[in-house]
Amino acid sequence: MTYQVLARKWRPKDFASLVGQAHVVKALTHALERQQLHHAYLLSGTRGVGKTTLARILTKALNCETGISATPCGQCQTCVEIDATRSVDYIEMDAASNRSVDEMSALLERAIYAPVAARFQVYMIDEAHMLTHHAFNAMLKTLEEPPPHLKFILATTDPKKIPVTVLSRCLQFNLKQMPAEQISAALEKILVAENVRFEPRAVHLLARAAHGSMRDALSLTDQAIAYAARDLSLAAIREMLGAVEQRYLVQLLDAVVERNGAAVLELADEMAAHSVSFAHALQDLASLLHQIAWSQYAPDSIPDAEVNGEEIRRFAGVLPPEEVQLYYQIVTIGRSELGLAPDEYAGFTMTLLRMLAFCAVDANDCRTPQTTSKTEARSASPARAALEVLNGVRSVDDQAAVQRQQDAERALKQDPFVKQLARDFGATLIPGSVQ
């Protein structure tokens, strides 16, 4: 038997088996139950969240031979044909390749005829935002006074590009990206049904990598089943995704928290030696910080299957919330600036240096950098160092060094990014961190 990809095999056939999108399902169910039928629907949402799937379910709900309802039978000829996209009264048209006014006119001409077999003739126009201005205009009149047997379902990933004149004639539903927990719960059910062994943490990693798209989640799962020979272990999935080993991120954050510059550098070098993608590393670090922040305000938000659950809770306990926010901002901005850096390594390590150089609390409460000797640690604060010079404890050589350090700090404080951090977070330079 030929292998059918999971996304096609497991395309939901009724409202109940859709993952997420409860808000849309609820509204449509109510409308269908009360027979309040609109003539044009617009389904918007990013890739692979269920627009086409929902359009087919809605069409079955409208055309099922057992009657209009939110629970089409799925058995009658009409339902079966719609599922297989063989129904003559359900036309899926891709606006990306049929975008001109001619094609729209041809479609609308056909639309005046009564449906062949079903109750309604349903036109599903996918990627509707790709239609030309003229094509939209041609459509407007029909949208305004559609023949009673005609229904339009427009789907788009970019609703902002749909003219308001069209938008205002449609009942609009915005499909949401699904959270990783919802995706991984759905994947687990499918894997059990497919008789594939899995570690929940591996599935969670796949779900996270899908970034809210159920189609991407299923494609990745297909790939994983082949890659890991039907045994989805955490190690195999991590390897397949080229996922940055979480150990690096946890150790990096630990080193930053301890203000241990040497350890940070050592880890960055080790990551470079293992060809870790620094862009991915920054992305994952931001993700880790995001979870730490949530864990501080809602401890239950971290699911049990979370790969770093324990570490997240530990960081949540030791890092002040403002500092987590500050780090998050440094990391996300560092990631967006990666392309501007001389090279990825420089961009990555500069970001880490910023994390080392700043803290969000009062300067006096800042942790001082971990340095090699007690004397150095003592002289780490420029203010304290200046005092020592005044009191004659330090030599003039030291004084020059202090001067250089103060100049450097002054220059750094003029940096626009630094100013932004100071403004947004009340961040202050850690005394003595600029050497």
Ligand X SMILES: Nc1ncnc2c1ncn2[C@@H]1O[C@H](COP(=O)(O)OP(=O)(O)OP(=O)(O)O)[C@@H](O)[C@H]1O
Task: List interacting residues with Zn ion (CB under 5 A).
Answer: 64, 72-73, 76, 79
Q: Which of the choices Mg ion, Zn ion, ligand X, none does residue 334 contact, using the CB cut-off of 5 to 8 A by kind?
A: none
Residue 42, Ramachandran bin (φ over 0: left; ψ between -120 and 50: alpha; else beta): beta
Q: Which is nearer to ligand X, 128 or 139 (CB)?
A: 128
Tell me which residue of 128, 125, 124 sits closest to 158, measured CA to CA.
128
Is residue 84 a contact point for ligand X (CB under 6 A)? no
Question: Closest residue (Cβ) to Mg ion?
Answer: 52
CA-to-CA dists, residue 381 to 260, 365, 367, 427, angstroms: 16, 12, 11, 16
Question: Closest separation between CB of residue 18 and Mg ion, Å?
Answer: 14
**Residue 157 engages ligand X in binding (rule: CB under 6 A):** yes
User: How near is the Cβ of 59 to Zn ion at its closest, in Å?
Assistant: 11
Give the three-state DSSP class for 262: helix
User: What is the rounded CA–CA span in Å between residue 356 and residue 362?
Assistant: 15
**Within 10 A of 49 (CB to CB), how many other CB atoms are there?**
26
Closer residue to ligand X in complex, CB, 157/370: 157
Of 1, 4, 6, the closest CA to residue 222 belongs to 6
The CB-of-252 to ligand X minimum distance in angstroms stands at 35
The residue with tokens 């990693």 is 205
Q: How far is the CB of 17 from ligand X (least distance, A)?
A: 7
Residues 6-65 that bind ligand X (CB under 6 A): 7-8, 10-12, 18-21, 45, 47-53
- Cα 234 from Cα 106, distance rounded (Å): 53
Q: Of 49 and 402, which has the nearer Cβ to ligand X?
A: 49
Beta strands in 183-268 (DSSP E): 197-198, 231-232
Minimum distance from residue 327 beta carbon to ligand X (Å): 34
User: Is 134 within 8 Å of 105 (Cβ atoms)?
Assistant: no
64 contacts which partner out of ligand X, Mg ion, Zn ion, none, CB within 5 to 8 A by kind? Answer: Zn ion
Pick from Mg ion, Zn ion, ligand X, none: which does 47 bind, CB < 5 to 8 A by kind?
A: ligand X
Q: Which residue do the tokens 């995001």 mark?
A: 290
Residues binding Mg ion: what is the number (CB under 5 A)? 2
Tell me how long the chain is.
Answer: 435
Least distance between Mg ion and beta carbon 126 (Å): 5
Q: What is the helix, strand, coil percentage profile of the chain, to 5?
A: 60, 10, 35
In angstroms, the Cα distances linking 125 to 51, 96, 198, 335, 405 are 11, 9, 38, 37, 64
User: Which parts of 99-166 are beta strand (E)?
Assistant: 121-126, 150-156
Binding residues for ligand X, how many (CB under 6 A)?
Answer: 21
* Contact (CB, 8 A) for 157 and 45: yes
Is residue 52 a contact residue for Mg ion (CB under 5 A)?
Answer: yes
Token pair recorded at residue 251: 């150790």
Q: Which does 73 bind (CB under 5 to 8 A by kind): Mg ion, ligand X, Zn ion, none?
A: Zn ion
Q: Of 420, 415, 418, whose CA–CA distance to 430 is shortest?
A: 418
Helix (H) or strand (E) holding 40: strand 40-44
Q: Which stretch binds Mg ion (CB under 5 A): 19-27, 44-52, 91-99, 417-425?
A: 44-52
Question: Which one, 173 or 425, has the nearer CB to ligand X?
Answer: 173
Q: Which residue, 59 or 221, is less far from Zn ion as judged by CB?
A: 59
Smallest distance from Zn ion to CB 53, Å: 17
Minimum CB distance to Zn ion smaller for 64 or for 302: 64
Give min distance, CB of 40 to Mg ion, in A.
Answer: 17
Contact 70, 15 (CB under 8 A): yes
Taking the least distance from each CB to ligand X, the nearer of 12 and 163 is 12
Check if the beta carbon of residue 58 is closer than 8 Å to that of residue 187. Answer: no
Cβ 151 to Zn ion, closest distance in Å?
16
| Span 174-233, contacts to ligand X by CB under 6 A | 214-215, 218
Q: Which does 404 bind (CB under 5 to 8 A by kind): Mg ion, ligand X, Zn ion, none?
A: none
* Rounded least distance, CB 170 to ligand X, Å: 17
Nearer to Mg ion, 46 or 260 (CB): 46
Spatial CA neighbour of 246 closest among 164, 308, 337, 312: 308
- The nearer residue to ligand X, 10 or 425, going by C-beta atoms, is 10
Residue number with CB closer to Mg ion (54 or 267): 54
Residues of the shown chain interacting with ligand X in the complex, contacts defined by CB under 6 A:
7-8, 10-12, 18-21, 45, 47-53, 157, 214-215, 218
Residues of the shown chain interacting with Mg ion in the complex, contacts defined by CB under 5 A:
51-52
